Amino acid sequence: MRIGLDMMGGDFAPLEAVKGIQLYLAEQPSPAELYLIGDQPQVEQLLAAHSIPLTNIKLVHAEEVIGMHEHPTKALKEKQKSSIAIGFHLLASGKTDAFISAGNTGAMLVGALFSIKALEGVLRPTISTIIPKENGGTGILLDVGINADCKPEQLNQFAVMGSVYAQLILGIENPRVALINVGEEEGKGNLLAQATYPLLKQNKHINFTGNVEGRDIFLDKADVMVCEGFTGNIILKLAESLYEIAQRKKIQHEYFDRFNFEIYGGTPVLGVAKPVIIGHGISHATAFNNMIGVAQKMIDTNLLPKMKEELES
C-alpha cells in the first residue's frame, strides 16, 4: 500500500506533516509506504532532524507549491510541478493508492473531480464532516459544500456513501441514516427534502430512520445525516466556529474540545475512484497522522469497491 502525502500543503507544512508522519510510524504496526511529495532537500532535512528512518518512505521532489489562495483550476493547470499536481499524477497513474493534502482545498477538489474518475454510477462526488454527538459518539454529515444545489437522486447516493463510510471507517454497525429537515414527519420540508424522503425510504441499501431537525444534529438521533451542500456547509462552518468561540472565551469542556475538527484529520472526497483526503489548512501533526490513518483504513477495508457495490446493486 502506497500513500501519497503533500508535504507542502497547509499553514504549518512541511514541519507538522513530518511530525505527523513520526506519530503515524510510531503507532502503526504495519505502516503503508509513504510517498512524500514536496521540496526534497527541505523534507530530507526535517526527516533527519526528527530521526525518521527512510524505511517506509519514498521522496518525490516537487519544485512548485500551489498557494492557499491561488485560483484552483488555474494553479493546477499552470503549476504542473507543484506537489498537488504531482500527487494527483501519481495517484491517477497508479503509482500510489491514495493522496492526502492539507493544501489549497479548491485545487484538491478540482484534482479529485477531474484527474481521478468518479466511481462508476456516482452522479456527483461529495465531502462530509464528522459531527461530535452529545453522548460521545460521532456522526457523519454530508454534503458539506461541493454540491450547493442537489437533486433527490444525489442525496440518495450521499446516503449510501455515508452509510458505507460510517460502517467501515467509523465502525458503526447498521448506521441510522436520516434526512436533515425542518420537521419530523414525512412530507415536511422544502421541495428537495419532500422529494428525497421517499427515495431514502425505499432504498434497501441503507437503514433510513426518517427526518432529523437542526436540534437533533448533535444528539444521538442518527449516524449519517444527509443534506445538500449549501445547508451542510453552513452547519459545518457554524460548528467549527463554536470551537473557536469556546477557545476565545476560555470555555473549557471536553464536549467542545471535540469540535476541534483537527482531531478527525481531513475529509475524504467520497464517490471518486481512489482515496483522496483533504486536510484543513491549519492541520498540525495529529491531523496529518489521522489523515494517513484514514487513507490506510479506506484501502484496508476496501471502502471504495464496497461503496461501488452498494451503489450499483
Contact residues toward its own copies (CB under 8 A) are: 134, 145, 148-149, 180, 182, 189-191, 193, 213-219, 227-231, 233-242, 244-245, 248-249, 251, 253, 255-256
Are the beta carbons of 177 and 223 closer than 8 angstroms?
yes
Least distance CB 168 / its own copies (angstroms): 28
Least distance CB 252 / its own copies (angstroms): 9
Least distance CB 213 / its own copies (angstroms): 5
Q: For 101-184, where are the alpha helices, taking DSSP H only?
A: 105-115, 152-168
In terms of CB distance, is 204 or 248 closer to its own copies?
A: 248
Pull the grid cell for residue 249: 472565551
What's the first-to-final CA gap in the chain, in angstroms? 28
SS3 129: strand
In terms of CB distance, is 132 or 266 closer to its own copies?
A: 132
Least distance CB 125 / its own copies (angstroms): 17
Pull the grid cell for residue 234: 453552513
In terms of CB distance, is 85 or 192 closer to its own copies?
A: 192
**Alpha-carbon span 223 to 221, nearest angstrom:** 7
CB atoms within 10 A of CB 89: 18
In terms of CB distance, is 38 or 106 closer to its own copies?
A: 106
Least distance CB 251 / its own copies (angstroms): 5
Are the beta carbons of 296 and 168 closer than 8 angstroms?
no
In terms of CB distance, is 12 or 256 closer to its own copies?
A: 256
